[in-house]
Structure 1
Amino acid sequence: MTRIAAVHGVLPPNRYSQAEITDVVAKVCLPAGTDRRLLDRLHASAQVGHRNLVLPLDQYGKLDGFRMANDLFIDAAVELGVEAIGGALDAAGLAPADIDMIMCTSVTGIAAPSIDARLAGRLGLRPDVKRLPVFGLGCVAGAAGIARLHDYLRGWPDHVAVLLSVELCSLTLQRADGSVANLVASALFGDGAAAVVACGPEARPASGRPASGHPELQRPGPPQRSPGPTVVATRSHLYPGSERVMGWDVGDTGFTVVLDASVPDVVRTYLADDVNGFLADHGLTTDDVTAWVCHPGGPKVLEAVAETLGLPPGALDLTWRSLAEIGNLSSASVLHVLRDTLALRPPPPGTPALLIAMGPGFCSELVLLRW
């Protein structure tokens, strides 16, 4: 089975409290003299304490259209991508030349050549590396990416594959847009990246190869290795009639968020049947799951997940912690929660865990793991 050898998350350096961000959003998104009580209420109820942003706060009012925002996305995505993949390879004890396939996902910017192509030379990837850039999956892409790595490694069991997620949500903020959807997004979403290194069951990478030939990968101290989980199975579910629940409208000013208030209701309608059926196919119930690695979609979504699955108190603590500390990083968020699970609360060896994310479509992706 596919083994997750390492997960590494990175954040841009500009870190702000929710109150600081709220004040800037009021200036950028609301017309002068507008009552900001709705904005304040939405930001307070998001249960986000701090977020990291790719730009200093005072620069968001100066963004001049989609081209400027997307150029900034490309530059920052390459830098964060190099850092995320480099950290994950170090943790796995591998070198860039060990990578046989790289999947790169984002829904907050576009690039051609893709981000993976732009960072290949910086990292020292082999010229025959297989590349798969993915756009449009949104928040579900962290889980879906692991699932698709697993699919690939089933066909190429002696390979090493990497998933890179880079999401710079703040660059999609729409100026002079006081809509509820834009204000909710401004309350929840932050910026960050994460990389996952996955190995097929027959992988024999040349892990002794030093990474010192690549300046971006030089880090003090030895790699910190810990046994990661294996991927047992995955399941995707696209829900009917839900295309306008979440996503983007793309216009002259870039990406305008589509975010319907029905998201928690969709979770309550479908998720329990999906999870229970998936687990039952493997002889399991929710009581057997020892770790829930869930995307932090927002307070109402997390409450709906816990309620519909009947989760015990504390089951989503690491997800709530991630939401409070860094906000919702779209596809990178569930990978940060997976990293935290590995580092802070690994389940007992041999026990099952379930990774869950949902996103535009509207859809869900489930990944059954075993520690």
Structure 2
Amino acid sequence: MQSCSLLSLATAVPPHVVEQHEAKARAREAFGGKKALFDRLSGVFDNAGIAKRHIVAPQDWYLAEHGWHDRNSLYLKAAEDLFVEAASTAIEKAGMAPDQIDGVVAVSTTGIATPSLEARAAPRVGFRDDIRRVPLFGLGCAGGVNGLATAARMATSEPGTNWLFVTVETCSISIRLDSADPAAIVATALFGDGAAAAVVTSGEHSLARITGASEKLFPDTLRIMGWDVEDPGLAVVFDRAIPPFIEQHLAKTVDEMCVKLGVDFEDVDRLCCHPGGVKVIDAIETALKLNQGELNIEREVLRDFGNMSAPTVLFVLERLLARGLPDRVLMTAFGPGFTCAGLMLEAA
């Protein structure tokens, strides 16, 4: 990849907020006949490192029964609203008008939209009628890094074009109170909703320069993370092996990525990681022998927003930019596949 400029970054969250202690109390009530299972696993609410989360519906909505139609209808409305807010803010921050955007990469995995989200949002954002559209599905938590990398590749392949990247995830819609799967309880303790957007272009950089991207797909790992499609809605796949898998494989994976990106890991000033959970952050620190506190911003974002899947790593980057981006930053995120995505940023 030729270097590409990151011109702006914006985030958005839905209006409804749930405090973690409140989520625990209401979830215990809602799991009904599975109280013994819930009580056995309820410590995840206390140990998740989360204070509050933003969700796309009032809390009572989650206590009622919903099938595919209800869940996806909420996704379409909420995701479009979040898309418009994040995209419009990113374009404005870039000092552009919507008709200056030549293409859009849209990442979302928590609902089905055909036409896709960027087409639905186009009239409200103000896109031109000849805008290039690249909707991406199935990337999960890795979508924030992979989607930004895809937008950067598109921008550098056509010098002078401006590309918008938007990722929207409404993870809370997939919360399943009918399930006896322990992963469903973990999801109830972790999931929040949010969106992020960025504008990239070739040429001189503004906020930062994107210098390269890499990805590692691990064989025979399809059941580590993802969604199962079931009659009431999506069912989360979370394997308990995720943290130990990261501890075992991340160091070698990062070294391989750095070789492909033409740098030594020792020359990376900071990571910018997707904070999927406290145990995931701990595993990253252990695998890469990081000092205590090096991933403090990741823990802050997890505390304030929970796991929003793909947008979450962009929330970390937003805080890094606000505090002064280090000279060289490696963004990383894990997602279904099982995959690790990486992207290199250099400060302005």
SS in 1 for 2:310: helix
Counterpart of 2:287, as a letter, is T
Provide the rounded CA distance (Å) in 2 between the counterparts of 1:190 and 1:35. 22
Identify if the C-alpha distance between structure 1 residues 155 and 39 changes in structure 2 by more than 3 Å, giving closer, same or farther: same
Structure 1 residue aligned with 2:131: 129
SS in 1 for 2:42: helix
Structure 1 residue aligned with 2:306: 327
Moved over 6 A (4+): none
The answer (yes or no) to whether the contact 1:30–1:177 under 8 Å persists in 2 is no
Identify if the C-alpha distance between structure 1 residues 120 and 53 changes in structure 2 by more than 3 Å, giving closer, same or farther: same
Q: How many residues align?
A: 345
Counterpart of 1:310, as a letter, is K
Provide the rounded CA distance (Å) in 2 between the counterparts of 1:112 and 1:101. 18
Q: How does 1:96-107 map to 2 (within 5 A)?
A: 96-107=98-109
Structure 2 residue aligned with 1:238: 217
Identify if the C-alpha distance between structure 1 residues 71 and 159 changes in structure 2 by more than 3 Å, giving closer, same or farther: same
Task: Compute the RMSD of aligned alpha carbons.
Answer: 1.6
Structure 1 residue aligned with 2:59: 57
Counterpart of 2:19, as a letter, is S
Structure 2 residue aligned with 1:365: 341
Query: Which of 343, 353, 365 is residue 329 of structure 2 equivalent to?
Result: 353
Counterpart of 1:46, as a letter, is A
1:21-79 CA distance string (max 9 Å, x none): 11222223342754642242111111111101111111211242111010011001111
1:134-173 CA distance string (max 9 Å, x none): 1111000000011111221221121111111111111001
1:274-306 CA distance string (max 9 Å, x none): 212322445533332222110001111111111
Structure 2 residue aligned with 1:7: 9
Structure 2 residue aligned with 1:68: 70
Identify if the C-alpha distance between structure 1 residues 35 and 291 changes in structure 2 by more than 3 Å, giving closer, same or farther: closer
1:313-352 CA distance string (max 9 Å, x none): 32211111000111011001011111111112422xxx21
Structure 1 residue aligned with 2:167: 165
1:172-209 CA distance string (max 9 Å, x none): 0112213211111111110111111111227xxxxxxx
Q: How does 1:173-192 map to 2 (within 5 A)?
A: 173-192=175-194
1:200-259 CA distance string (max 9 Å, x none): 227xxxxxxxxxxxxxxxxxxxxxxx9311111111110011000000110111101111
Query: Which of 169, 178, 194 is residue 196 of structure 2 equivalent to?
Result: 194
Provide the rounded CA distance (Å) in 1 between the counterparts of 2:274 and 2:35. 37
Provide the rounded CA distance (Å) in 1 between the counterparts of 2:163 and 2:35. 52
1:84-134 CA distance string (max 9 Å, x none): 011111111111111111111111111111110000011110000001111
SS in 1 for 2:160: coil
Provide the rounded CA distance (Å) in 2 between the counterparts of 1:76 and 1:33. 31
Determine if the alignment matches structure 1 residue 120 to structure 2 residue 96. no
Identify if the C-alpha distance between structure 1 residues 227 and 363 changes in structure 2 by more than 3 Å, giving closer, same or farther: same
Provide the rounded CA distance (Å) in 2 between the counterparts of 1:338 and 1:184. 25
Counterpart of 1:198, as a letter, is V
SS in 2 for 1:177: coil
The answer (yes or no) to whether the contact 1:286–1:309 under 8 Å persists in 2 is no
Provide the rounded CA distance (Å) in 2 between the counterparts of 1:186 and 1:21. 8
SS in 2 for 1:357: strand
Counterpart of 1:188, as a letter, is L
The answer (yes or no) to whether the contact 1:29–1:174 under 8 Å persists in 2 is no
Provide the rounded CA distance (Å) in 2 between the counterparts of 1:33 and 1:360. 30
TM-score (norm 1): 0.89
Identity rate, percent:
35
Q: Which runs of 5+ in 2 are unaligned?
A: none
Provide the rounded CA distance (Å) in 1 between the counterparts of 2:265 and 2:289. 8
Identify if the C-alpha distance between structure 1 residues 37 and 228 changes in structure 2 by more than 3 Å, giving closer, same or farther: same
Counterpart of 1:122, as a letter, is R
Provide the rounded CA distance (Å) in 1 between the counterparts of 2:259 and 2:114. 43
The answer (yes or no) to whether the contact 2:12–2:195 under 8 Å persists in 1 is yes
Structure 1 residue aligned with 2:234: 255
Provide the rounded CA distance (Å) in 2 between the counterparts of 1:320 and 1:97. 37
Provide the rounded CA distance (Å) in 2 between the counterparts of 1:140 and 1:103. 14
Moved more, 104-113 or 285-294: 285-294
The answer (yes or no) to whether the contact 1:26–1:39 under 8 Å persists in 2 is no
Identify if the C-alpha distance between structure 1 residues 27 and 178 changes in structure 2 by more than 3 Å, giving closer, same or farther: farther
Structure 1 residue aligned with 2:158: 156
The answer (yes or no) to whether the contact 1:138–1:359 under 8 Å persists in 2 is yes
